[in-house]
Structure 1
Amino acid sequence: MNDRHRFWQRALRLLALGVPRGASPALLGNDQSLQHESWLRSLQKEKDRFIDWHDRLTDIPFVIIDMETTGFSPQQGDEILAMAAAKTVNGLVTGTYMTLVKPEKPIPEHISDLTGIEAKDVVFAPPLAEALRTFVPFISAGVLVGYHIGHDLSFLRHVLWRHYRQKWSWRFVDMQPIVSLVRHPCPTLDDALACYGIDCPRRHTADGDVEAMVKLWAILLGELRELGIETLHDLYAALSRH
């Protein structure tokens, strides 16, 4: 079998998995591309998952996520240093995920001061493209939750498109407007944690922040229930009016 024939075999397999025709040649042009197929297949299947709008919040799997990054703009070259997530149902954790990520550029000193992540910590960490192949299937298990989750989603969307030409389209909810809905405005996660008396001894670490947000999310579910907000539809409707 010649190289051209192998190329088109791989291309057709990837297209069958839903990879766009403009996908990176790196996925099509070498034997390592075959290792991506099972991950891409699971990603495509999870994309077709359906959570009914009228499912009760206590029955829906919510995945709480957090990322530590070198800045606020992936388009300007800022990178992910750590990713963490916790699967929850009715506020109870059913699974956790955590990984450091080896960046392509040196970590700025002020980021190391903030997160505690230094160059020596990421020497043996997986590169981002490799970490995504385990992180994305894990978080695809439900509705994403985070505090100011737009920051995390901007990086997730950017890197998925950059590395795999995949678009992120899962449902998500932001805890910040929910806190404002049930209690009073808390512009930052620190404000919300202080308001609810939740300790976060490992603040600005991905898994430490996720652990604190798990506690916050469990409390918020109870407060939403007290307000008569019981389904995903109820929640989105209440947030749209707030």
Structure 2
Amino acid sequence: MNERHRFWQRALRLLSLGIPREASSAFLGNEPSWQQEHWLRSLQKEKQNVIDWDGRLADIPFVIVDMETTGFSPQQGDEILAIAAAKTVNGRVIDTYATLVRPEQPIPTSISALTGITEDDVAPAPPLAEALRTFVPFIAAGVLTGYHIGHDLAFLRHALWRHYRQKWAGRFVDMQPIVRLVRHPCPTLDEALACYGIECVRRHTADGDVEAMAELWGILLKELRGRGIDTLHDLYAVLSRH
């Protein structure tokens, strides 16, 4: 393993734990000692305690994520083709991220037909290991959310482990059970968008889907507040009962 790869492995390890870049920078020049490891774990525990249970939904950064992939199973060789994310606070988008990803295998024709992503599109794109270096810092400071977010998390976790032997331990919440809680069952994103009258003109593109989900998330936050669900603890608690 060369020094450059070791650097990024350490950097993504800290960021995947949610450690701020300014706090982790001191450890990127050498291997962490056990004292440093203990300090990092303490910092992460303190950070999670503040965000996870006491934070008001209106104050917590939620990062809406979507990925276009060649299938449903990274363990079976399916790959990421595009990644997009929107960092939001109180339902307002404050920053965005988007990139195509150059896969290792040819894109199936059915996936190109669905997503519009072709071999020519991804030829100049970064490989996944490189894309992670900008994507992980973007999402590390917030709670991830999306419609059926488990799909995206499966690919994120697989990618981090495969390329950097790191685990993702950040918090997340799925929009689909929230829609079921405040309105009625909508098994698919298309049904949820139709239910709320949200148009997604670039459906099945990562940034297009994130844009539509950001609008949906803003509405859901208002509906949650209307039901007296004000904190992340409140939200986790009520979802656990449904």
Conservation of the 8 A alpha-carbon contact between 2:224 and 2:230: yes
Give the corresponding residue for 1:116. Answer: 116
Q: Secondary structure at the match of 2:53?
A: coil
Give the corresponding residue for 2:26. Answer: none
Segments of 4+ in structure 1 off by > 3 A? 37-44
Q: CA separation in 2, counterparts of 1:181 and 1:80?
A: 31
Give the corresponding residue for 1:185. Answer: 185
Q: How does 1:128-167 map to 2 (within 5 A)?
A: 128-167=128-167
Code of the aligned partner of 2:88: T
Give the corresponding residue for 2:96. Answer: 96
Ranges in structure 2 where 5+ consecutive residues have no aligned partner = 21-40
Q: List per-residue Cα deviations over 1:79-116 (Å, max 9, x = no partner).
A: 00000000000000110000000000000000000000
Cα offset, 1:39, TM superposition: 4.4
Conservation of the 8 A alpha-carbon contact between 2:16 and 2:168: no
Q: CA separation in 1, counterparts of 2:6 and 2:227?
A: 50
Code of the aligned partner of 2:117: I
Give the corresponding residue for 1:69. Answer: 69
Q: Secondary structure at the match of 1:53?
A: helix
Q: CA separation in 2, counterparts of 1:121 and 1:42?
A: 29
- The structure with the larger Rg is 1
Aligned residues: 214
Code of the aligned partner of 2:130: E
Change (3 A) 1:215 1:128: same
Q: CA separation in 2, counterparts of 1:54 and 1:224?
A: 16
Q: CA separation in 1, counterparts of 2:6 and 2:54?
A: 39
Q: CA separation in 2, counterparts of 1:38 and 1:160?
A: 12
Conservation of the 8 A alpha-carbon contact between 2:87 and 2:94: yes
Code of the aligned partner of 1:65: V
Ranges in structure 1 where 5+ consecutive residues have no aligned partner = 1-28
TM-score where L is the length of structure 2: 0.85
TM-score where L is the length of structure 1: 0.85
Q: CA separation in 2, counterparts of 1:35 and 1:118?
A: 32
Identity of aligned residues (%): 73
